[in-house]
Amino acid sequence: MFSSIAPLARLNPFYAPHFQLVQDGVRKRTEPAEAPTTRRSLAAASAVEEYSCEYGSLKFYALCGFGGVLSCGLTHTAVVPLDLVKCRMQVDPQKYKSIFNGFSVTVKEDGVRGLAKGWAPTFIGYSLQGLCKFGFYEVFKILYGNMLGEENAYLWRTSLYLAASASAEFFADIALAPMEAAKVRIQTQPGYANTLRQAVPKMFGEEGIWAFYKGVAPLWMRQIPYTMMKFACFERTVEALYKYVVPKPRSECSKAEQLVVTFIAGYIAGVFCAIVSHPADSVVSVLNKEKGSSASQVLMRLGFRGVWKGLFARIIMIGTLTALQWFIYDSVKVYFRLPRPPPPEMPESLKKKLGLTE
Domains and CATH numbers, the chain: 58-338 (1.50.40.10)
How confident is the model over 197-209, as pLDDT tens digits?
999 999 999 888 8
Q: What are the b/e assignments for 69-94, b being 16+ CB within 10 Å?
A: bbbbbbbbbbbbbbbbbbbbbbbbbe
Q: What is the pLDDT of residue 358?
A: 61
CB neighbour burial string for 159-173, b if at least 16 within 10 angstroms, e if fewer: ebbbbbbbbbbebbb
pLDDT at residue 226, rounded to an integer: 85
Q: How many CB atoms lie within 10 A of CB 334?
A: 14
In the prediction, which pLDDT does 332 show?
96
CB–CB of 333/67 below 8 Å? yes
Which range among 192-206, 227-241, 276-290 has the greatest average pLDDT?
Answer: 227-241
How would DSSP label each residue in 156-169?
THHHHHHHHHHHHH
Question: Tens of pLDDT along 303-331?
Answer: 767 778 778 877 887 888 899 999 999 99
Residues β-bridged to residue 29 = 19
Across the range 269-275, mean pLDDT stands at 87
Question: Which whole number is the average pLDDT over 331-342?
Answer: 94
Alpha carbons 123 and 182: distance in angstroms, whole number: 12
What angle, rounded to 10 degrees, do the helices at 295-306 and 255-289 form?
Answer: 110
157, 239 in Cβ contact below 8 A?
no
Highest mean pLDDT, choosing among 94-108, 118-132, 279-293:
118-132
Say what the pLDDT of residue 288 is. 63
Q: pLDDT confidence of 123, banded at 50, 70, 90?
A: very high
CB 144 within 8 A of CB 163: yes
pTM: 0.74
Q: With a cut of 60, say whether residue 82 has pLDDT above it.
A: yes
pLDDT averaged over the chain?
82
